[in-house]
Structure 1
Amino acid sequence: MKNSLHVLIIGYVWPEPNSSAAGYRMLQLIQCFLKNEWQVSFATPAQPTDHMTNLKSLKVSCHNIQVNDDTFDAFIKEKSADIVVFDRFMMEEQFGWRVEKHSPDSLRVLNTEDLHSLREARHKAVKHNTDFQITDMYSDSGVREIASIHRSDLTLMVSEHETELLQQHFQVPQTHLMHLPFMTSPLSTMQKSTRKQFEDRQHLVWIGNFRHAPNWDAVLQLKQTYWPIIRKKLKENNLNNVELHIYGAYPPPKATQLNNEKEKFLVKGWAEDASEVMQNTRLCVAPIRFGAGIKGKLYDAMLAGTPSITTSIGAEAMNGPFPWNGVITDDAEEFASATVSLYKDKTSWTLMQENGDRIIEERYDINTWEVAFINRLKRQLNLKEALRHSHFTGKMLRHHSMKSTQYMSQWITLKNGLTNKV
Structure 2
Amino acid sequence: MNKILIISSVWVEPNSSAAGSRMLQLIRFFQSEKYDLEYASIASESEYSIDLSSLGILQHAVQINDSAFDELLLQINPDIVLFDRFMVEEQFGWRVSNVLPNAIKILDTEDLHCLRQARHEAVKKNSKILNYNSDVAKREIAAIFRCDLSLMVSNYEMNLLQTIFQVPKSILFYLPIWIENFTPEKPDFHSKQDFVFIGNFYHEPNWDSVLVLKNEIWLKLKDLLPYAKLNIYGAYPTQKVHQLHNPKERFFIHGRAESAEEVICSARVLLAPIRFGAGIKGKLLECMQYGTPSVTTTIGAEAMRDDLPWNGFIANEYSDFIIKAVELYSNQEVWEQAVENGYEIIKQKFMFLIYKSNFLNVLNELQTNLELHRNANFIGQMLQFHSMRSTEFMSRWIEEKNK
Q: Deviations over 1:68-94 (max 9, x none)?
A: 001001001111101000000011000
Match of 1:104 in 2: 101
Equivalent residue letter for 1:197: D
Q: Is the 8 A contact 1:14 1:48 kept in 2?
A: yes
- 189, 206, 209: which one aligns with 1:198: 189
- 1:138 and 2:129 equivalent? no
Match of 2:37 in 1: 40
Q: Is the 8 A contact 2:94 2:387 kept in 1?
A: no
Equivalent residue letter for 1:224: N
1:37: Cα distance to partner? 1.3
Identical positions, percent: 47
- 1:303 and 2:289 equivalent? yes
Q: Please state whether the residue corresponding to 2:247 is helix, strand or coil.
A: coil
1:277: Cα distance to partner? 0.8
1:12: Cα distance to partner? 1.8
Equivalent residue letter for 1:312: T
- 60, 68, 72: which one aligns with 1:71: 68
1:371: Cα distance to partner? 2.5
Q: Deviations over 1:14-39 (max 9, x none)?
A: 01111111111101100100111111
Alpha-carbon distance in structure 1 between the residues aligned to 2:160 and 2:3? 32
1:185: Cα distance to partner? 2.7
Alpha-carbon distance in structure 1 between the residues aligned to 2:299 and 2:238? 25
Runs of 4+ in structure 1 over 3 Å off: none
- 123, 128, 132: which one aligns with 2:125: 128
- 1:82 and 2:75 equivalent? no
1:142: Cα distance to partner? 1.0
1:229: Cα distance to partner? 1.8
Alpha-carbon distance in structure 1 between the residues aligned to 2:129 and 2:207? 20
Q: Deviations over 1:26-79 (max 9, x none)?
A: 011001001111111110111101111221111111111110001001001111
- 202, 212, 215: which one aligns with 1:221: 212
Match of 2:232 in 1: 246
Over the residues paired in the alignment, what is the CA RMSD in angstroms?
1.0
Query: Normalising by the residue count of structure 1, what TM-score does the alignment of the two structures yield?
Result: 0.94
Give matches, 1:17-416, under 5 Å.
Answer: 17-133=14-130, 136-188=131-183, 192-193=185-186, 196-234=187-225, 240-416=226-402
Q: Is the 8 A contact 1:229 1:333 kept in 2?
A: no
Q: Deviations over 1:266-287 (max 9, x none)?
A: 0010001101111111000000
- The 10-residue stretch of structure 1 (289-298 or 398-407) with the greater mean CA deviation from structure 2: 398-407
Q: Deviations over 1:149-204 (max 9, x none)?
A: 00000000000000011111111111100011011135225xx15xx411110000
Query: Normalising by the residue count of structure 2, what TM-score does the alignment of the two structures yield?
Result: 0.98
Q: Is the 8 A contact 1:183 1:369 kept in 2?
A: no
What count of residue pairs does the alignment treat as equivalent? 403
1:140: Cα distance to partner? 1.0
5+ residue gaps, structure 2, are none
Alpha-carbon distance in structure 2 between the residues aligned to 1:132 and 1:324? 26
Alpha-carbon distance in structure 2 between the residues aligned to 1:403 and 1:139? 23
Alpha-carbon distance in structure 2 between the residues aligned to 1:175 and 1:373? 13
Q: Is the 8 A contact 1:233 1:336 kept in 2?
A: no
- The 10-residue stretch of structure 1 (362-371 or 140-149) with the greater mean CA deviation from structure 2: 362-371
Q: Is the 8 A contact 1:93 1:402 kept in 2?
A: no
1:402: Cα distance to partner? 3.5
Q: Is the 8 A contact 1:312 1:328 kept in 2?
A: yes
Q: Please state whether the residue corresponding to 1:285 is helix, strand or coil.
A: strand
Q: Please state whether the residue corresponding to 1:105 is helix, strand or coil.
A: coil
Alpha-carbon distance in structure 2 between the residues aligned to 1:132 and 1:319? 25
Alpha-carbon distance in structure 1 between the residues aligned to 2:261 and 2:356? 22
